[in-house]
Chains A and B, each alone.
Chain A
């Protein structure tokens, strides 16, 4: 069983970043890998079993005033899970919120003039494309061991199939017996749309 955990779903889906979780869930379902999604809300106890993946989405300042305190409370648990193999994707204000809480990230972030446009960044021999709508002085995409932090919406895992599959590969390396068969036509269909959408996005990014 692959477990996907979403943090503060009522507060942190402002730009549809829950889609990242849906992308992983569907790709696993289409590979007939058993998958379970669950949520954590402020004030609740954290799940006892370590999840394979945690999504920390993007929310308004008003939403953050409600959940930041709880995030500060659970960060030690998240850090522990990351050392045990849990992958965390934090988007925009979600990534910003981890600064000052997670060891290894700088404690404060400067602001700059807001950018609202498609952006494409190179990651090794790959590239990541997404919609940047932020005034945070952070790299659009960064990876620190099991923590992926990005400012990009899209959702980033929908547009960048290779990244979604890299995350999934890491789940399955530990549990290879889960892979059964693939619904090839579903994978082909989303691959086509994702490549068309990201091609257009990267074109717009160059404008």
Chain B
């Protein structure tokens, strides 16, 4: 009874905000509810019979979580999960408003949630997770955590609270350090075979400490050719196409298979999981192509130095029609200078709240820019009006804030519709 007015209030706010800002308003109603009923979150998350699975780390949380959820659902589990843009506390409340009954109870067998390091630490202090998956520690998010050591401390606390098992990335020295310091009891490692990984470190933060030997892995990416990925797990082999090209998606896939195998135990069907991964659509704004006014446009979300670098390196440069938009979510634009743009020679359109910052960065890299305008809507209209490229599709790299604004402008009214 206690939560009924709060949830009803949140629902009202959500509808009201959707009315005025179609496609937006994901965080605000949750923020309102979190103020009204702060204990609701823990209560809701404790109500799942098969417990809570937390997927955390610096990068790859969204994709990994989507993969785990899809595999679990294919096995018949009723899963509660959070939309990718709602991995913060307020986002959970928004999800609860949408899904829970008016007593704060969410239907479902299991909660599989992506959380950033900070929220994972505080939320798992209230609700012990059954399984924790630690993806990586990258050198970003500087104005929140400053030092990878602090991120490691938070992740170590989260890992230590798992009641069943912890799944760990064997190719991140930070994660191995967490394991060494906490002496985690129930654990399994996943990774990418060294011949596949090659010189790439996937942006992992250096520890500057003597290297910890790579432990024996339970699941490993054994081969990667474009999107085609081979994973060895429990002496068996799964071969499937990744939703998007890129080594980091292979890491997400092997993490997801390990996590799903731990969740499902004897029920885990590798062939079914392989089929599910193979059929997973690309994640919107992580390389999905959409059709706007009859022309194809690929949208790619860049959230931090690592994802900017990985996505830039993933493009088939030179891209004939490219737009870059950096919005207000980039509080400290200094990090744009940690991205290596030396392979980029030309951009058609540069825009967003931090337009001058990114343009300045690109100018010093001698990147040619045809049209620079702070106004995102003018910029995208100009970009869409350009002739279609002779090869490939028009590509937009944008930060989360620019994504939200463009989504509204282009008429994608439901976040679910474009995020899948």
Please give the residue numbers on chain A whose beta carbons come within 8 Å of chain B beta carbons, in ascending order.
10-11, 13-19, 22-23, 26, 60-63, 65-66, 114, 116, 131, 133, 153-155, 158-159, 186, 189-190, 193-194, 196-197, 200
Give bound CA distance, A4 to B75, whole Å: 60
Chain B residues with CB under 8 A of A158: 337, 360-361, 364
Give bound CA distance, A14 to B142, whole Å: 8
Given A11-B208, A186-B363, are A116 and B143 also a contact pair (CB < 8 Å)? yes
Nearest A-chain residue to B152, judged by Cβ: A62
Chain A residues with CB under 8 A of B147: 60-62
Task: Give the shortest distance, in Å, between B357 (CB) and chain A (any CB).
Answer: 5
Let me know if A63 and B334 touch, CB within 8 A: no
**Could you say which of A60, A186, A189 contacts B149, with CB atoms under 8 Å apart?**
A60
Give bound CA distance, A114 to B147, whole Å: 13
Give bound CA distance, A61 to B149, whole Å: 9
List B319-353 residues whose CB lies under 8 Å from chain A.
Answer: 331-338
0/1 string, B107-150, CB within 8 A of A gives 1? 00000000000000000000000000000000100110011110
Task: Give the shortest distance, in Å, between B242 (CB) and chain A (any CB).
Answer: 30
What range describes how many residues of B lie at the interface?
Answer: 20 to 34
B356: Cβ under 8 A from any A Cβ: yes
Let me know if B142 and A193 touch, CB within 8 A: no
Chain B residues with CB under 8 A of A11: 208
Q: List 12 A-B contacts (CB under 8 A).
A: A16-B336, A19-B334, A22-B365, A60-B147, A60-B148, A62-B148, A62-B206, A62-B209, A116-B332, A193-B356, A193-B372, A197-B360
Task: Give the shortest distance, in Å, between B190 (CB) and chain A (any CB).
Answer: 25
Let me know if A131 and B208 touch, CB within 8 A: no
Nearest B-chain residue to A161, judged by Cβ: B360
Give bound CA distance, A94 to B359, whole Å: 27
B85: Cβ under 8 A from any A Cβ: no
Given A62-B147, A62-B148, are A15 and B360 also a contact pair (CB < 8 Å)? no
0/1 string, B351-376, CB within 8 A of A gives 1? 00011110111011110000010000
Nearest B-chain residue to A189, judged by Cβ: B363
B164: Cβ under 8 A from any A Cβ: no
Give bound CA distance, A66 to B208, whole Å: 7
Let me know if A153 and B334 touch, CB within 8 A: yes
Give bound CA distance, A132 to B204, whole Å: 25
**Could you say which of B206, B335, B355 contacts A16, with CB atoms under 8 Å apart?**
B335
**Could you say which of B208, B332, B335, B337 contacts A62, with CB atoms under 8 Å apart?**
B208
Nearest A-chain residue to B332, judged by Cβ: A131
B207: Cβ under 8 A from any A Cβ: yes
Chain B residues with CB under 8 A of A65: 208
Chain A residues with CB under 8 A of B365: 22
Let me know if B208 and A18 touch, CB within 8 A: no
Let me know if B331 and A116 touch, CB within 8 A: yes
Let me know if B208 and A63 touch, CB within 8 A: yes
Please give the residue numbers on chain B whose beta carbons come within 8 Å of chain A beta carbons, in ascending order.
139, 142-143, 146-149, 205-209, 331-338, 354-357, 359-361, 363-366, 372
Given A190-B363, A193-B359, are A155 and B334 also a contact pair (CB < 8 Å)? yes
Give bound CA distance, A10 to B364, whole Å: 21
Task: Give the shortest distance, in Å, between B138 (CB) and chain A (any CB).
Answer: 12
Let me know if B334 and A15 touch, CB within 8 A: yes
Nearest B-chain residue to A199, judged by Cβ: B356
Pairs of residues from A and B, 6 with the lowest C-beta to C-beta distance, nearest first: A16-B337, A196-B356, A19-B337, A153-B334, A197-B356, A193-B360
Given A60-B146, A60-B149, are A154 and B364 also a contact pair (CB < 8 Å)? no
Let me know if A15 and B332 touch, CB within 8 A: yes
Task: Give the shortest distance, in Å, between B27 (CB) and chain A (any CB).
Answer: 20
Let me know if A131 and B334 touch, CB within 8 A: yes
**Could you say which of A22, A63, A133 contacts B143, with CB atoms under 8 Å apart?**
A133
Q: Taking each of B206, B360, B361, B366, which has the highest tally of chain A beta carbons within 10 Å of its own beta carbon?
A: B360
Chain B residues with CB under 8 A of A62: 147-149, 206-209
Task: Give the shortest distance, in Å, between A64 (CB) and chain B (any CB).
Answer: 9
Task: Give the shortest distance, in Å, between A114 (CB) and chain B (any CB).
Answer: 8
Let me know if A131 and B333 touch, CB within 8 A: yes
Give bound CA distance, A66 to B207, whole Å: 10
Nearest A-chain residue to B337, judged by Cβ: A16
**Could you say which of A15, A60, A116, A186 contacts B335, with CB atoms under 8 Å apart?**
A15
In addition to A62-B148, A193-B372, 10 A-B residue pairs with Cβ atoms within 8 Å of each other are A18-B337, A22-B364, A60-B139, A60-B149, A62-B207, A63-B208, A66-B208, A116-B143, A193-B360, A196-B355
Task: Give the shortest distance, in Å, between A8 (CB) and chain B (any CB).
Answer: 11
Give bound CA distance, A56 to B334, whole Å: 16
Chain A residues with CB under 8 A of B354: 200
Let me know if B332 and A133 touch, CB within 8 A: yes
Chain A residues with CB under 8 A of B364: 19, 22-23, 26, 158, 190
Give bound CA distance, A154 to B337, whole Å: 8
Give bound CA distance, A183 to B373, whole Å: 23
Given A61-B147, A62-B207, A200-B356, are A193 and B334 also a contact pair (CB < 8 Å)? no
Chain B residues with CB under 8 A of A16: 334-338
Task: Give the shortest distance, in Å, between A52 (CB) and chain B (any CB).
Answer: 19
Chain A residues with CB under 8 A of B336: 16
Task: Give the shortest distance, in Å, between B308 (CB) and chain A (any CB).
Answer: 12
